[in-house]
Amino acid sequence: MNNSSRGMGQGSTMRAFMQDRAVARHRLGRGTVRRILAFARPYRGQLAIFAILLVLDAAAGTAVPLLFRYLIDDGIAAGDSGLVVALAAGAAGLALVSAGLAVAERWVSARIGEGLIVDLRTAVFGHVQRMPLAFFARTRTGALVQRLNGDVLGAQQAFTSTLQTVVSNALTVVFTLAAMFAMSWQLTLLALLVTPLFVLPARWFGRRLADYTHRTYELSADVGQLMNERFNVAGAHLAKVFGDPAREAAEYARPVEALREIGVRRALLGTWFRVGLTTMASLAIAVVYGLGGLQAIAGTLTVGVVVAMAAYLNRLYGPLTAMANVQVDIMTALVSFERVLEVLDLEPTVTDADDATDLRDAVARHGVSITLDRVTFRYPKADEVGLASLEAVAAPAQEPASDTLRDLTFTVPAGAMVALVGRSGAGKSTTGHLVTRMYDPTSGSVAIAGQDLRGVTLASLRATVGVVSQEAHLFHDTVAANLRYARPDATDADLEQAMRRARIWNLVSRLPQGIETVVGDRGYRLSGGERQRLAIARLLLKAPDVVILDEATAHLDSASEAAVQAALDEALAGRTSLVIAHRLSTVRGANLVVVLDDGRVAEQGTHAELLAAGGLYADLYRTQFAPATDGAA
């Protein structure tokens, strides 16, 4: 749309002032602009069309005051009715052309912008999916989502609204000044002399509006965080058990009321700005009419020129004021782009080797034994897994590098069940993470079927190993969708068979919509034992060769534990399994029990052998079962 229909261009000017002015001092990383242009390469044809449309739009807008000049001077003044009709028709035609160009500009910019959003979001989402578990353990979900949503939209503006605003304003100023100088350089210079009266107040207004905007973002984040914490099932439950409704309402009201006050100030400041801009423009136009009118009376200018100059002034000051803040506008978009690139630049620490092989081939030849050979492991530092800006709390520059596992060696024979036990923090779950290759050992090796996991493809490892953890995570979706996450091509009959084997079918079949029943946020509509059995059904549907149970019955009552244990017996039958257990009652039937202490193997043997040895396992066993024994006595 040309600037004659935009008026003073206040919309784009106000948008520029709402940006963070601190970004104007930001220094982009080396190569950032080149990489941004690489994202634009697929759209270079559309960008060229977009630029042509902007030039045509600016030219059409500049031509309208010229038509009015000739209509007044050569048509009305000369009494040429035919010319008046022709020039009026020409002005109407240009208005229609401008409308068509505006629609075309919007269509092309939308195609570019929406395509860029898809490209960036797909790239970021796919890249984040390849990041290691350590990345997600440290990252604030909200900060990551902001990169995927807010910053991607900011990056999109670099090729749509920012490009359009900057180029359109620049073309409008150039075309308008050229036409004004051609008609009257004296009045044009006068118009430029009063430009600081527009630009300097605009910069002050911009700083104040930026301050208000910062505070608005902060308060909005507080409100959003409060709602996120209170509106999920667990948060709502906690608030009802421990909270006070009046206190909760007061806590919510504080940032909301602060937002109201800032909103009023922003609205008033914006109104003062618009009124001031309009008033200054009106005064400038009055000066042009006054001086131009005197020159027209003296015969040095025509009436048409005076009218055209006044029309051009209406087109000039808005774009000039917006361009005074062009650096902020451009840098805001580029910094958003840079923040997206920061995520894409994060290197996954667990990846396929160039010569990685398919683990399933080795499993078919050698069976599915698991071997840990002199494994030492420490969790990676913050700077090894992600950006400090994505963490909830900035990590210290030097984190203590303590080993979680030390010289760990044991074997799980093919088809056997090996239990890992020990005190909290002994390294049991960490060992499970290494077998699933959520992390790589610092030294030593973890192998399945004789193959070091660093030398096999992650896809084949994921197909070979299945996990049931103590917190069975379910998506806010149907029972069927949660199960098919393990095997998308599973039929309804496959789902039923897996649920029967997991001892959960009788419950699911009685639900209102059966397998199409939505389980709620994180499966909250189901009990802990029911969620675990659904997780086991999902595992059975996947049918892995290796099963890792990580405290799968830790938080269940006795009745639920019995039901889940029956389902687990079905899941473990005929499979190589590593069972991480806190409750020692669940590991009595293990072929081998490995006891960890401070990241090392303290002892290993069968349940009976370890009890007879009287070591750490026997101490743990007595701690768990002595109260029950004493009570029975």
Name the 3-class secondary structure at 237.
helix
User: pLDDT tier at 447 (50, 70, 90 boundaries)?
Assistant: very high
Question: Where are the domains positioned within the chain?
Answer: 3-345, 359-382+415-632
Q: What is the DSSP letter of 554?
A: T
Question: What is 359-382+415-632's CATH superfamily?
Answer: P-loop containing nucleotide triphosphate hydrolases (3.40.50.300)
Q: What is the DSSP letter of 522?
A: G
Residue ranges with strand state E in 226-292: none
- Say if residue 483's pLDDT is above 80: yes
Average pLDDT of the chain, as a whole number:
80
- Say if residue 284's pLDDT is above 60: yes
Q: Looking at residue 627, what is its pLDDT? A: 53
User: Which residues, 6+ apart, have CB-to-CB distance to 106 below 8 Å?
Assistant: none
Q: What is the pLDDT of residues 141-194, one digit of tens each?
A: 666 776 777 777 777 776 677 777 788 888 988 999 999 899 888 888 887 777
Nearest to 128 by CA among 433, 341, 348: 348
Longest CA span, the chain: 122
User: pLDDT tier at 334 (50, 70, 90 boundaries)?
Assistant: confident
Residue 592 pairs in a beta bridge with 418
User: pLDDT tier at 559 (50, 70, 90 boundaries)?
Assistant: low
Name which residue leads in pLDDT, 480 or 252.
480
d(CA 44, CA 38): 10
Lowest mean pLDDT, pick from 130-139, 493-502, 556-565: 556-565
Q: Which amino acid is at 594?
A: V
d(CA 537, CA 152): 38
Q: Which of 392-401, 430-439, 466-475 has the highest mean pLDDT?
A: 430-439
The reply to whether 3-345 and 359-382+415-632 are identical in fold is no
User: pLDDT tier at 384 (50, 70, 90 boundaries)?
Assistant: low
d(CA 376, CA 582): 23
Q: Looking at residue 460, what is its pLDDT? A: 92
Q: Looking at residue 409, what is its pLDDT? A: 93
Q: Looking at residue 27, what is its pLDDT? A: 64
Nearest to 178 by CA among 315, 294, 301, 49: 315
User: In which region does residue 450 sit, left (phi positive, over 0), alpha (psi from -120 to 50) or beta (all else)?
Assistant: left
- Say if residue 388's pLDDT is above 90: no
Name which residue leads in pLDDT, 272 or 396.
272
Name which residue leads in pLDDT, 602 or 319.
602
Q: What is the pLDDT of residues 257-270, one digit of tens each?
A: 888 888 888 788 77
Q: What is the pLDDT of residues 519-539, one digit of tens each?
A: 877 777 888 778 888 888 888
Q: Looking at residue 7, what is its pLDDT? A: 41
- Say if residue 24's pLDDT is above 60: no
The helix/strand count (H/E) of the chain reads as 25, 10
d(CA 479, CA 490): 13
Q: Looking at residue 267, what is its pLDDT? A: 81
Q: Which of 198-207, 307-316, 405-414, 465-474 has the highest mean pLDDT?
A: 405-414
| Average pLDDT value for residue range 613-620 | 90
Question: What is 3-345's CATH superfamily?
Answer: ABC transporter type 1, transmembrane domain (1.20.1560.10)
Evaluate whether 28 touches 338 at the Cβ level (below 8 Å).
Answer: yes
- Say if residue 41's pLDDT is above 90: no
